[in-house]
């Protein structure tokens, strides 16, 4: 790192000299134009080349290039999500032939998990999708808060009279919120303004936020599978202590993410966790036992990432990151 003093020229212009090695390395001469970009954190980025900031706002894709000769439509969802994650606002899918019913159905089902999207045009050979989301108004901690609330609702549903339709609705919304979280994380990597407005704030936190989001989705999926198993087999479950433990830990972790990270988060462990594992080991239904084991495993993974977030936040606060 090099330091430079600001100079005032003719009483009106502020000037900073460039490092000589950097100028020579980039073959710059007097009169050459460079680019200066101000980031949301007030830092300036100097580029040795003058350029216009490029942004991929729209894309047109021939679905025939992605479904293969056998008409495998499974690639369509990942490709649509990839476009969604990087902030493309207009996605056109077309075919030289007629778009099959299966392809159109697959597209519509995928859009259910893409917040703020709609089909703006459709004919036999083409579908145009618009993403109408205002990215600058979406805060990542609030997405996590909503996911946490929905998981709690599903757990409470399981401990009382099971309403499988309500749990299915919760699961669908959590899937949609997970993809929205992934989108905001992806955009934060490429746009410092989104990094700031999303309340992620620092690149050092991005990986842990992503892993935490994914494990929350995994935990939610497992609760959903457990509820379907109980509903299908008409199984009675008397595991309120385990459910209450999971619900309280989810609530504790989510509150930490939403609030300022002023202290190191304490991961579950010790006697309390041992007692829960012992209760799980006594469950006679082995399938149900495995579901609970997976839930606890995902819960520990989530809290590992929250510990990381709390540690990185301390370093950020001290100016090390």
- Each domain of the chain, given as residue ranges in start order, spans 7-47, 58-133, 136-317
Q: For the full predicted model, state whether its pTM sits above 0.85.
A: yes
- Res. 69: pLDDT tops 70: no
- Res. 50: pLDDT tops 70: no
Answer whether 35's CB lies under 8 Å from 50's CB: yes
* Helical ranges in 160-205 per DSSP H: 164-190, 192-197
Which of 214-218, 260-264, 270-274 shows the lowest mean pLDDT across its residues? 260-264
Q: Which residues pair with 59 in a beta bridge?
A: 91
- Res. 234: pLDDT tops 80: yes
Average pLDDT over residues 30-40: 79
13: three-class secondary structure by DSSP: strand
What integer pLDDT is reported at residue 71 of this predicted model?
Answer: 64
Average pLDDT over residues 214-242: 94
Identical fold at 58-133 and 136-317? no
- Res. 167: pLDDT tops 90: yes
Write down the residue that tokens 């099971």 correspond to. Answer: 162
The larger pLDDT score, comparing residue 262 to residue 119, is at 119
- Given phi > 0 = left and psi -120 to 50 = alpha, else beta, which region is 50? beta
Average pLDDT over residues 247-252: 97
What integer pLDDT is reported at residue 22 of this predicted model?
Answer: 86
**Degrees to nearest 5, angle at CA 58 with 56 and 60:** 120
Distance, in Å, from the CA atom of 98 to the CA atom of 104, rounded to the nearest integer, reads 10
What integer pLDDT is reported at residue 111 of this predicted model?
Answer: 97
Average pLDDT over residues 171-176: 98
Average pLDDT over residues 253-264: 90
Distance, in Å, from the CA atom of 62 to the CA atom of 229, rounded to the nearest integer, reads 40
- Res. 52: pLDDT tops 60: no
What integer pLDDT is reported at residue 11 of this predicted model?
Answer: 76
pLDDT per residue as tens digits for the range 194-226: 999 999 989 999 999 999 999 999 999 999 999
- CATH level 3 topology of 136-317: Methane Monooxygenase Hydroxylase; Chain G, domain 1 (1.20.58)
pLDDT per residue as tens digits for the range 91-127: 999 999 899 999 999 999 999 999 999 999 999 999 9
197-221: buried (b, 16+ CB within 10 Å) or exposed (e) per residue?
bbbbbeebbbebbbbbbbbbbbbbb
Per-chain mean pLDDT for the chain: 92
**Degrees to nearest 5, angle at CA 297 with 157 and 230:** 35
What integer pLDDT is reported at residue 232 of this predicted model?
Answer: 95
- Given phi > 0 = left and psi -120 to 50 = alpha, else beta, which region is 265? beta
Q: Which residues pair with 13 in a beta bridge?
A: 9
The larger pLDDT score, comparing residue 44 to residue 303, is at 303
Confidence of residue 132 (pLDDT cuts 50, 70, 90): very high
Domain 58-133 falls under CATH 3.30.110 = yes
**In this structure, what is the dihedral angle of CA atoms 206, 208, 214, 220, given to the nearest 10 degrees?**
-130
Answer whether 210's CB lies under 8 Å from 185's CB: yes
Q: What percent of the chain has pLDDT over 90?
A: 72
């Amino acid at each position: 790192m090099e330091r430079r003093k600001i100079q005032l020229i003719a009483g009106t212009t502020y000037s900073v000299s460039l490092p000589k090695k950097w100028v020579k390395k980039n073959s710059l001469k007097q009169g050459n134009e460079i680019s200066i970009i101000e980031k949301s954190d007030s830092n300036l980025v100097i580029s040795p080349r003058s350029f216009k900031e490029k942004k991929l706002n729209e894309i047109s894709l021939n679905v025939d290039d992605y479904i293969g000769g056998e008409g495998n439509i499974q690639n369509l969802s990942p490709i649509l999500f990839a476009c969604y994650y990087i902030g493309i606002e207009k996605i056109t899918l077309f075919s030289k032939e007629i778009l099959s019913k299966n392809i159109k159905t697959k597209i519509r089902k995928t859009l259910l998990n893409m917040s703020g999207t709609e089909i703006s045009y459709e004919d036999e050979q083409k579908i145009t999708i618009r993403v109408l989301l205002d990215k600058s108004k979406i805060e990542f901690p609030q997405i996590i808060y909503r996911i946490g609330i929905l998981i709690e609702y599903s757990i409470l549903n399981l401990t009382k009279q099971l309403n499988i339709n309500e749990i299915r609705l919760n699961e669908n919304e959590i899937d949609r919120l997970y993809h929205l979280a992934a989108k905001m994380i992806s955009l934060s990597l490429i746009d410092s303004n989104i990094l700031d407005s999303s309340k992620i704030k620092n690149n050092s936190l991005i990986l842990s936020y992503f892993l935490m989001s994914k494990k929350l989705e995994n935990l939610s999926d497992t609760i959903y599978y457990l509820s379907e198993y109980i509903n299908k087999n008409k199984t009675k479950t008397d595991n309120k202590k385990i459910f209450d433990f999971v619900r309280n830990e989810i609530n504790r972790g989510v509150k930490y993410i939403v609030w300022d990270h002023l202290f190191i988060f304490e991961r579950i462990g010790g006697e309390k966790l041992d007692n829960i594992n012992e209760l799980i080991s006594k469950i006679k239904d082995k399938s149900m036992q495995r579901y609970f084991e997976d839930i606890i495993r995902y819960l520990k993974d989530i809290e590992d990432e929250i510990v990381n977030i709390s540690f990185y936040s301390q370093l950020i606060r001290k100016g090390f990151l």
